[in-house]
């Protein structure tokens, strides 16, 4: 296996606060405090031993909890924030780092669409777009090119929603089970996406604890190691036409915007010396059902255009070769604003490798691929987790 500085970092704590459609009385700050205490308890460490904090509102949080000396606002949401924490450790600037994120009070106007999903750029703002419509423009191209069907999309949505249905901590726990026909019978939002093809919105928080791999033996759970991590982007989200074949000077290779994430996957496979065949569970970001089909192709789990067939043959189902998004993801587990649900993909990956999932545990899982982002947003971030320290 290749060596990489990320291999010197271990994830030793992972915690989700309560998640719900609304959490009356909670603020982002109160959820962040819950998340930090929860993650440190999960790691079995004293909060006082944390010497760096990466997240939302880090100055206030470090002041209240007496953490530091290092604090960082997230340089980017989700997986890149976890990498920020890893960088602090690999460079020796810190030893034990908490990544904390939360969302509450963001849904106050009760609009038909969440406020952060409405684009403001001058070239798109006047055409009634929102995230579902923008991802639909990408999904449509895949359907035109490869014959991908609404039934295939619905099968993804039913699979992930059923994972959330059985998860006691999910916002939509007990709200299923769903068949693909149930998904197709739900109201059309932005063709080809029905209501149940789309993510939900909710409130909640989460946090993780990272430390040096050589210090991870003293923590409460078996440490989970970062085998690789990388990002891929095709430009600013929600401000230009999200064309499948969008490229530009930064592309310079054979990857179209529709397969954003592929360049990150190539890097992660190189960092880790592994490939899709080594992966046991796929904790993929699921803003819309189509994204799972696309990401399976983008990351190399099947050839281009074969993702639709792959999701129909049981591959992503419980017990299948590559179970996906096993806590219910943004469709069912939670989607608290702009960051929490992204870190939660990695939290679920950690729980899978520890073998502590109360539901949908993948037996003997040793390698998990976690993703953030998607085609309509023109970015993907990846993190590959492993039980064995490389």
Partner 1 sequence: MTQLAPRINGIPVPRMAPESVEYWAGTRVGELRYQRCTACSAPNFGPGLVCRSCRSRDLEWVAGAGRGVVYSWTVVWRPQTPAFEVPYAPAIVRLDEGYDLLTALVGLDHLEIAEGLRVAVEFHAISDEITLPFFRPDPSAWSGAAAG
Q: Which residues bind partner 1 (CB under 8 A)?
A: 111-113, 118, 120, 122-130, 133, 136-138, 140-141, 144, 187-192, 195, 239-244, 246, 248-249
Give least dist CB 198 to partner 1, A. 10
Per the CB < 8 A criterion, the answer to whether 346 and 282 are in contact is no
Give least dist CB 309 to partner 1, A. 22
Tokens standing for residue 336: 């608290």
Per the CB < 8 A criterion, the answer to whether 212 and 9 are in contact is yes
Give least dist CB 121 to partner 1, A. 8
With vertex at residue 65, the alpha carbon angle to CA 61 and CA 70, rounded to the nearest 5 degrees, is 65
Per the CB < 8 A criterion, the answer to whether 293 and 142 are in contact is yes
Give least dist CB 132 to partner 1, A. 8
Cβ within 8 Å of residue 253, ≥6 positions away: 263
Q: Which of 235, 252, 37, 240 is nearest to 125 (CA)?
A: 240
For partner 1, the closer of residues 130 and 333 by Cβ is 130
For partner 1, the closer of residues 75 and 121 by Cβ is 121
Q: Which of 37, 95, 45 is nearest to 65 (CA)?
A: 37
For partner 1, the closer of residues 108 and 241 by Cβ is 241
Give least dist CB 139 to partner 1, A. 8
Per the CB < 8 A criterion, the answer to whether 26 and 103 are in contact is no
For partner 1, the closer of residues 190 and 384 by Cβ is 190
Helix, coil or strand: residue 276? helix
For partner 1, the closer of residues 122 and 214 by Cβ is 122
| First CA to last CA distance, the chain | 7
For partner 1, the closer of residues 188 and 217 by Cβ is 188
Give least dist CB 185 to partner 1, A. 14
For partner 1, the closer of residues 16 and 200 by Cβ is 200
Give least dist CB 201 to partner 1, A. 14
Give least dist CB 237 to partner 1, A. 13
Tokens standing for residue 14: 């992972």
Per the CB < 8 A criterion, the answer to whether 346 and 383 are in contact is yes
Pairing label, strands 367-374, 379-386: antiparallel
For partner 1, the closer of residues 11 and 129 by Cβ is 129
Q: What backbone torsions phi and psi does residue 323 show, to the nearest 5 degrees? A: -55, 140
Per the CB < 8 A criterion, the answer to whether 344 and 163 are in contact is no
Give least dist CB 282 to partner 1, A. 26
For partner 1, the closer of residues 290 and 322 by Cβ is 290
What string of DSSP letters covers 119-165? Answer: ---TTTGGGT--HHHHHHHHHHHHHHHH---HHHHHHHHHHHHHHHH
Tokens standing for residue 50: 């944390």
Residue with tokens 């529709």: 258
Tokens standing for residue 248: 């530009």
């Amino acid at each position: 296996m290749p060596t990489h500085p990320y291999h010197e970092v271990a994830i030793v704590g992972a915690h989700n606060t309560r998640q719900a459609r609304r959490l009356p009385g909670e603020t982002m700050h109160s959820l962040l405090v819950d998340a930090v205490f929860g993650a440190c308890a999960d790691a079995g460490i004293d909060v006082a031993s944390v010497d760096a904090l990466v997240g939302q509102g880090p100055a206030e949080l470090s002041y209240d909890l007496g953490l530091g000396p290092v604090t960082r606002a997230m340089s980017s949401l989700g997986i890149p924030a976890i990498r920020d924490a890893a960088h602090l450790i690999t460079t020796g600037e810190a030893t034990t780092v908490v990544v904390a994120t939360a969302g509450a009070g963001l849904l106050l106007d009760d609009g038909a669409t969440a406020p952060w999903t409405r684009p403001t750029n001058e070239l798109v703002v006047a055409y009634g777009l929102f995230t579902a419509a923008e991802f639909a423009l990408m999904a449509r191209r895949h359907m035109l090119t490869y014959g991908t069907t609404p039934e295939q999309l619905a099968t993804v949505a039913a699979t992930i929603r059923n994972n959330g249905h059985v998860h006691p901590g999910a916002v939509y726990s007990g709200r299923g089970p769903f068949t693909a026909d149930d998904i197709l019978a739900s109201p059309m939002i932005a063709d080809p996406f029905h209501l149940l093809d789309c993510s939900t919105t909710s409130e909640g928080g989460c946090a993780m604890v990272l430390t040096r791999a050589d210090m991870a033996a003293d923590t409460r759970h078996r440490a989970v190691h970062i085998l690789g991590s990388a990002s891929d982007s095709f430009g600013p989200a929600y401000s230009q036409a999200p064309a499948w074949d969008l490229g530009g000077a930064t592309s310079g290779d054979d990857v179209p915007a529709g397969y954003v994430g592929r360049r990150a996957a190539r890097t992660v496979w190189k960092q880790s010396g592994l490939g899709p065949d080594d992966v046991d569970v796929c904790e993929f970001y699921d803003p819309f059902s189509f994204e799972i089909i696309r990401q399976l192709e983008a990351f190399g789990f099947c050839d281009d255009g074969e993702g639709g067939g792959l999701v129909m043959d049981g591959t992503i189902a419980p017990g299948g070769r590559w179970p996906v998004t096993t806590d219910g993801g943004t469709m069912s587990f939670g989607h608290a604003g702009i960051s929490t649900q992204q870190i939660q993909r990695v939290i679920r990956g950690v729980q899978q490798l520890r073998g502590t999932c109360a539901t949908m545990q993948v037996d003997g899982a040793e390698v998990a691929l976690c993703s953030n982002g998607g085609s309509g947003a023109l970015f993907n971030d990846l993190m590959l987790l492993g039980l064995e320290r490389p």
